[in-house]
Amino acid sequence: MSNDQPTSGQPPEDDPFLKKPQGPQEPQEPQGQQRPPSGSPYDSAPPPPPPPYDPGPYGGGQYGGTDPLAGMPPLAEPGKRIVARLIDFLIISIPLYLISLPFGGAVEMSDSKDGDSVGNVFNQTYSGHQLLWSLIGLVAYVAYDTYFTHKDGRTLGKRLLKMRVAMLNDGSVPDVGASFLRAVVLWLPALLCCPCLWWLINIVLMFTDKPYRQGLQDKAAKTVVVSTA
């Protein structure tokens, strides 16, 4: 009768009770920390949400937005813009009118008795004398606006009302090109073409344009008018 018991020493390779399974071993957790149980909501926690959009101290876009005005001062009030433009107009027009007096005045007055006042006004507007002074005025207004807008974004009227012109993309002071384009678009139609209609359109836009209250000159030069108060 044979003895089937294994001899003492190293256990057999095929002993199922002593042979450890060969496979990837699970890493041990550091001492003092416990792994959350399976199925815990912490197994695959989503990343934390991004911090709220910081518009800076002067207002700006909405949460997560890319508003170009973020971090810039608030937009200037339309009423103050109208008053500032009127001040600038008077600063240029009064000296021009006084200079024109020795030459017959900037505006020709007619003594016609035919009663056609509308026709007289039309003829006066496009007479050679009036056209000359309109061109002189155009040069003066464009030079005035271009210089002060490029200098620090503030004409004298805007300085008094505490506002300035800023580039829409970054809030910087407009360069010479943008300042000149803005002045030409503003004053060329106002002095040589259709002054009443042109001012009306710009005033309406300052109240109704969304979201930046841009007049036609602002849209052309990509600028906005902001408060500095």
227: nearest Cα among 162, 157, 152, 169: 162
Spatial neighbors of 69 by CB under 8 A, at least 6 apart, are 59, 60, 61, 75, 168, 171, 212, 224, 226
Structural domain of 141: 78-109+116-227
B/e letters for 22-36, b = 16+ CB within 10 Å, e = fewer, are eeeeeeeeeeeeeee
pLDDT at 183: 96
Q: How many residues does the chain have?
A: 229
- Looking up tokens 């959350």 gives 36
Higher pLDDT, 73 or 105: 73
Q: Is residue 54 included in any domain, yes or no?
A: no
What are the two backbone dihedrals, phi and then psi, of residue 173, each rounded to the nearest 5 degrees?
Answer: -70, 135
Asked if the structure places residue 127 within a domain, the reply is: yes
Residue 28: inside a domain: no
Distance CA 172, CA 194 (A): 32
Residue 145 counted as domain residue: yes
In-domain check, residue 57: no
Q: Is 45 part of a structural domain of the chain? A: no
Residue 73, in any domain of the structure: no
Is residue 156 domain-resident?
A: yes
Structure tokens belonging to residue 204 = 């309406």
Q: Classify 136 as helix, strand or coil.
A: helix
Q: Which residues pair with 50 in a beta bridge?
A: none
Number of structural domains the chain divides into:
1
pLDDT, tens digit, for every residue of 81-132?
999 999 999 999 999 989 988 877 665 544 444 445 444 444 444 567 778 8
pTM: 0.63
